[in-house]
Structure formats: structure tokens, C-alpha cells
């Protein structure tokens, strides 16, 4: 396979073509910002899993302009640098190269909570302080960095790169993408300077040119520099592809060793952070365009965790390396499994951003919805049982299958009962739309893993309390899931289906369909129906802007709203259907009755826990545990993590 062949970036040879893309690793470093054992364990897992080149989270080259950076890793600190040396040694022991991503800083997109009161954020010019999750207009203006400050900041790249090389880093990557400070200098929309750092497109590259020259002078001309940037921002007034391709040519002239190509910025954040709705290899076409006009090695990125898509990217000549981000969080053994032909054992990435990005936002360590051990490699390692025990798991959804997996790996004799004819639970309707195919991949992965671990599975087994008690397992985990509440209509005709029924294969009557419910399930079901050719309207008790607001991640929410708009789905806010007539639906909107043309209704209401068995066994003296949706209907991440934590902690 091409993906497993050695590759070269400047003077550096990499054992294969897989790069771990830089991602925030918040919560993993030590309180003083240094990289301790936990930080090393997180990256070492990916190196042991076969990755050829690992890029760390962004490291500030200077702490002079953004006060919060003083709590982060500092290349000027000898103590911090010693911890980088330990990381380099750990990765090198697995034949993996270390790339340190260097950043000029956030600039106008610095997270508002970390900006001290009374301090103005900085930018290439005086720009609006921007946050994708805060209303426009409430944030202060950024001040323009002075010429002297810009020059000093550019020189800092040289010092930082030199220090990194001295302790074993194999190369550096410059963080020139996504609208961060270096990108702000490069972009006319945010750079309106009149000194040497702004004006023409050539002068807007002065800051990058000086930073690259400083690295070459201080770290050595033979020290590889990877430059990551977006060839377009997909933003009015931002960079267009023509300029992005011109920048590739200019960066090659400056002497960088490779180009890492992506797209987007904070205003179009669903591009640099591709949501679960984005297709595989979502930005490879952009890498291909750069490949055609540059002689440098090109690194492609963007939902390339699918082995076939990654391999095709290389064999089709669209890029020379592939960068994986979240796919290495869900499965750090990705490369080893590809190399040994075990691609069916790769845990997929759902693109949910909830275990990785959202964990950082709420102040928890970077992790993964489907792989709780990520970011917790040391403290959440599974310990073998001291003596043989039996474990009965009731329910074959994600919570139950994760509980069974942890039990089997710890040494339990595990039996799994499932009431239906297949494992997966509510993952099946969740994965029905073609834009949610990753969930179907996850079901297949879970099912094969369950059989591979030789877990005894009994289908069509609807358990009673007597069944559980007579089985006599040492421990019992109840993961009986949840069902949708009944539609609130007396007329239970075939014209009324639930969203779960529709997503399980039933088709609503007629052409015009009213989806009742503006949550995630209602919104996704509406999109699914439009792709079936239906004319769909969503009624919601909410305001139109609050559609699917349960989506934790703003990248996924923004793309979903774009899809709703593109599909021309009508949204009726503050609207509650009351009854069906022979020719439509009567609803209440803002206190008045309204007639809606609809042939049928799809009810996307709340889920309710199936907890009768839990209640019947609640006095079982600490040997029976309830997990997942039968406790509280929630996200896939909550189901998986509850199964993992519960069985991991059984003594």
C-alpha cells in the first residue's frame, strides 16, 4: 500500500505517509504548561499505533502579546524544553518523527473567556474580536500590532524552532491556517496595514517570510518547515483559490519543505473542523490543486480516517501524505490495523466533536466519544480481574456493547442479552440517513468486536427480573435503552408515524410531510425525507434559530443548518400541531390556529427510558448497575462512557 511506504519531507524521512494532524490537547499538560507523563502517553499511543509523523498541538513562539499564553508550553523555558525532549525520545522509540506546530497566536479569534478584563486582543489590523459562539457586536475591537511587535514576533519563530531542534524535534509546522494570527497577516480581509507587513498580497506575506527566514537562520536551513494554510476561506472578502495557489508558489520559493493544505476560517468553521455530515476526503480536491502547481510534498487533510479514501488520495497522486486527526483519537492503532489487514477492526470516528473539541471547551481533557481511554491512557487503563467473575449485560446498544467489551477485556465471562434480532439498538435509526453513514460503520465495528471477544450473545431475549436473578451472574449491567414517546394524537391512523419508525424503514403517506419536532432527530429526519423526494415542513415549539440546538458542537450545528437551508425545508416556529383533518393539519402558532398542508405527520418527540427492569432490580445490593439511555436518554458519548466507567470500576 502507498500509505505504508516511506516518504520524505525535506531532509526528514518518514517511515510511512500518515501524519497526525495538530489538535488541541487541552487538559493533558501539567498545571505549569509543561508536557508531563499524561501528555506523553496521549501521543505515545499514536506512535505505538504506527503513525509516521506526529504534530503536537500549537505552541506559542512568544508570550508577549496574548496574556493567557503564559499558562501554556513555553519554548524559552528550560524546564518545559526538558519535557519536549522526553516526548521526542518516546516517539522516536517507535520510529515516529516529531513535528512541533508553531503559532503566532490567536489574534482576533482568541477565546473571549481567556482575555483579561481591560486587555484588547491583537490582530494584524484593527479588527472585530470574533467568536463563532457569541453574538456579533458584543466583543471589543482588536488593536493593531505595531511594526516593532510584528518584527519581534516573526523573529521568535527562529528562536522557538532552534530550541525545538535542540531537544530532538524533527521538524516544525507553521500554523498559518484557519484565520489565526499568522493567517490574519496573510489575508487582505484582516490585514489593512500600511507598513511593510501589509498592502499588496506580496507585502501581506512579509510576516510569514520573516518567520521562515528566522527559522532557517537559527535552526538551520536543513531543518524542515511544513506550512499549513487554507487555499480558500470560503468567506466573502477572504482568500479565494487563485490567491491560495499563488501563496503555494511563494511559500515554495521561501524554502518550506512541505505544504499542508486545508480550508476555512472561524467564520466558516465547519471547513477546518469537518462535521459528521461532511463527506470522506472532504478537502482532498484542494490538496490536489496545490499538488498540480507545486513540486513540494503535499499533505492532505479532512476526514481521511477511511483507509480506502486515504489510500486513494495517494495512489491518485492528489497528495504525498495524509493527515489524520480525530480518527487517531477514536483508534490510535489505525496504522497498525491497516498494515496488518485488519481494517474492519478500526473504531470509526463519528465526527461529533463531543469527546474531543467539546471536552476542551468545558475544561475536560481531550478525549473521544467512542474511546474513553484517549487522553486517559494512564489513569483509565483496564486492570485484569483478581479472580474470575461472570457478567450479564442486558441490552445490545452502544452502552451495553461497551460494557460487554470492557468486561471481556478485564477477564469476565460475559453474556449479552438483546431483545431484538440484531445488536445496535437505536444506533440503527440514527444511522439510517446517508449523511450519518459513520454510525452504521460503528454498528458493524461493535458487532464484529463483540464476536471477536467471544462474548456470548443471545438475541430475541427480552429479559425479566426473574430471568436475571435465575441466571446468577456475579454482576449485572442493565442497558435497556429508550423508546420514543407516543404521538400526542387521538387519531392513530397510518398518517402518523414516529421518526424512529421512519428511520427504521417505514415511509410516510403522501408527498407533503410535516415533521413535528425541531430537535436533532426531527431536523435530521426532515433532511432524510427530502432526499426521498418528499416536500417537508418542520413544526417546532422553538424559535427558528433554535433548531437542533441540542447539538453540542457548533461546527455540526452550522453545517446542519446549511443543509436545511439548501434543502428548502420550511420551518414553522412556535407551532404545535393539534389534530389531523382529511386535507391537512391544524396547528396552533403564537396563540392562533393555522392550517398546514400535509398528507402525513412524522412525530419526532422526546425519548423515554425503558427502565422497568432497572426498577424491578433496584434493591440488588450493589451487583446490578443501570447505564446509558435507560437511566437518561442522551448522546452516544454518554452511553459509551457510562458502559466503560461502570465496568472498569467493578472490583
Catalytic residues: 180
CB neighbour class for 150 (10 Å; exposed up to 12, middle 13-18, buried from 19): buried
- Cβ atoms of 433 and 527 within 8 Å: the answer is yes
CA distance 474 to 390: 5
CA distance 638 to 36: 28
- The DSSP element (H or E) to which 588 belongs, if any, is strand 584-589
Residue 233 grid cell:
476561506
* Matching residue, cell 407551532: 575
In the DSSP assignment, the letter for residue 181 is H
Give SS3 for 576.
Answer: strand
Which long-range contacts (C-beta less than 8 Å, at least 24 apart) are formed by 523-527? Answer: 523/547, 523/548, 523/560, 523/564, 524/433, 524/435, 524/436, 524/548, 524/560, 525/433, 525/499, 525/602, 525/604, 526/564, 526/567, 526/569, 527/433, 527/435, 527/560, 527/563, 527/564, 527/567, 527/569
- Cβ atoms of 189 and 108 within 8 Å: the answer is no
Contacts of 118 by beta carbon, 8 Å cutoff, 6+ apart: none
| 316-335 CB burial, b ≥16 within 10 A, e <16 | eebbbbbbbbbbbbbbbbbb
CA distance 301 to 111: 24
Angle at the Cα of 298 (from 250 to 558), degrees rounded to 5?
95
CA 635 to each of CA 158, 267, 325: distance values in angstroms, whole numbers, following the listed order = 45, 27, 22
Amino acid at each position: 500500500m502507498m500509505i505504508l511506504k516511506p516518504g520524505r519531507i525535506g531532509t526528514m524521512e518518514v517511515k510511512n505517509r500518515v501524519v497526525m494532524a495538530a489538535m488541541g490537547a487541552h487538559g493533558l499538560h501539567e498545571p505549569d504548561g509543561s508536557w508531563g507523563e499524561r501528555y506523553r502517553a496521549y501521543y505515545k499511543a499514536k506512535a505505538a499505533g504506527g503513525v509516521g509523523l506526529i504534530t503536537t498541538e500549537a505552541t506559542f513562539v512568544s508570550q508577549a502579546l496574548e496574556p493567557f499564553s503564559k499558562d501554556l508550553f513555553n519554548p524559552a523555558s528550560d524546564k518545559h524544553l526538558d519535557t519536549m525532549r522526553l516526548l521526542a525520545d518516546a516517539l522516536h522509540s517507535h520510529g515516529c518523527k516529531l513535528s512541533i506546530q508553531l503559532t503566532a497566536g490567536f489574534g482576533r479569534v482568541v477565546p473571549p473567556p481567556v482575555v483579561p478584563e481591560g486587555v484588547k486582543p491583537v490582530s494584524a489590523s484593527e479588527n472585530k474580536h470574533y467568536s463563532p459562539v457569541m453574538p456579533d457586536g458584543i466583543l471589543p475591537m482588536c488593536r493593531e500590532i505595531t511594526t516593532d511587535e510584528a518584527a519581534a514576533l516573526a523573529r521568535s519563530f527562529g528562536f522557538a524552532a532552534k530550541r525545538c531542534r535542540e531537544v530532538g524535534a524533527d521538524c516544525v509546522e507553521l500554523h498559518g491556517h484557519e484565520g489565526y494570527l499568522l493567517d490574519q497577516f496573510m489575508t487582505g480581509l484582516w490585514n489593512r496595514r500600511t507598513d511593510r507587513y501589509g498592502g499588496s498580497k506580496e507585502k501581506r506575506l512579509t510576516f510569514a517570510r520573516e518567520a521562515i527566514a528566522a527559522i532557517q537562520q537559527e535552526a538551520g536551513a536543513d531543518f524542515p518547515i511544513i506550512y499549513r494554510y487554507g487555499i480558500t476561506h470560503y468567506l466573502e472578502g477572504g482568500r479565494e483559490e487563485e490567491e491560495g495557489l499563488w501563496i503555494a508558489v511563494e511559500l515554495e520559493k521561501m524554502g518550506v519543505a512541505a505544504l499542508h493544505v486545508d480550508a476555512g476560517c472561524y467564520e466558516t468553521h465547519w471547513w477546518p473542523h469537518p462535521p459528521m455530515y461532511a463527506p470522506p476526503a472532504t478537502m482532498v480536491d484542494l490538496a490536489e490543486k496545490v499538488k498540480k502547481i507545486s513540486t513540494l510534498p503535499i499533505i492532505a487533510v479532512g476526514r481521511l480516517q477511511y483507509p480506502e479514501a486515504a489510500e486513494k488520495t495517494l495512489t491518485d497522486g492528489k497528495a504525498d501524505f495524509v493527515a489524520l486527526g480525530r480518527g487517531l483519537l477514536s483508534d490510535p492503532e489505525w496504522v497498525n490495523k491497516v498494515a496488518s489487514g485488519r481494517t474492519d477492526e478500526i473504531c470509526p470516528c463519528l465526527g461529533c466533536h463531543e469527546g474531543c473539541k467539546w471536552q476542551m471547551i468545558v475544561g475536560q481533557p481531550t478525549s473521544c466519544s467512542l474511546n474513553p481511554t484517549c487522553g486517559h491512557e494512564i489513569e483509565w487503563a483496564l486492570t485484569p480481574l483478581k479472580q474470575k467473575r461472570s457478567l450479564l449485560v442486558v441490552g445490545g446498544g452502544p452502552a451495553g456493547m461497551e460494557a460487554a467489551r470492557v468486561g471481556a477485556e478485564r477477564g469476565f465471562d460475559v453474556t449479552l442479552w438483546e431483545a431484538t434480532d440484531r445488536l445496535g439498538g437505536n444506533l440503527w435509526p440514527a444511522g439510517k440517513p446517508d449523511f450519518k453513514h459513520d454510525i452504521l460503520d460503528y454498528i458493524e465495528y461493535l458487532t464484529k468486536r463483540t464476536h471477536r471477544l467471544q462474548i456470548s450473545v443471545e438475541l430475541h431475549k427480552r429479559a425479566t427480573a426473574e430471568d436475571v436473578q435465575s441466571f446468577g451472574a456475579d454482576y449485572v449491567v442493565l442497558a435497556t435503552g429508550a423508546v420514543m414517546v407516543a404521538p400526542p394524537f387521538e387519531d392513530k391512523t397510518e398518517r402518523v408515524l414516529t421518526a424512529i419508525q421512519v428511520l427504521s424503514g417505514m415511509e410516510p403517506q403522501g408527498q407533503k410531510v410535516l415533521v413535528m419536532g425541531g430537535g436533532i432527530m426531527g431536523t435530521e429526519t426532515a433532511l432524510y425525507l427530502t432526499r426521498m423526494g418528499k416536500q417537508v415542513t418542520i413544526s417546532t415549539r422553538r424559535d427558528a434559530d433554535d433548531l437542533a440546538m441540542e447539538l453540542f458542537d457548533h461546527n455540526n450545528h452550522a453545517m446542519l443548518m446549511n443543509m436545511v437551508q439548501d434543502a428548502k425545508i420550511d420551518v414553522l416556529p412556535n407551532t404545535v400541531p393539534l389534530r389531523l383533518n382529511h386535507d391537512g393539519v391544524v396547528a396552533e402558532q403564537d396563540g392562533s390556529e393555522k392550517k398546514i398542508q400535509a398528507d402525513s405527520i412524522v412525530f419526532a418527540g422526546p425519548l423515554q427510558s425503558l427502565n422497568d427492569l432497572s426498577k424491578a432490580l433496584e434493591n440488588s445490593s450493589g451487583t446490578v448497575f443501570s447505564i446509558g439511555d435507560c437511566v437518561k436518554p442522551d448522546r452516544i458519548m454518554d452511553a459509551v462512557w457510562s458502559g466503560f466507567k461502570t465496568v472498569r470500576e467493578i472490583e
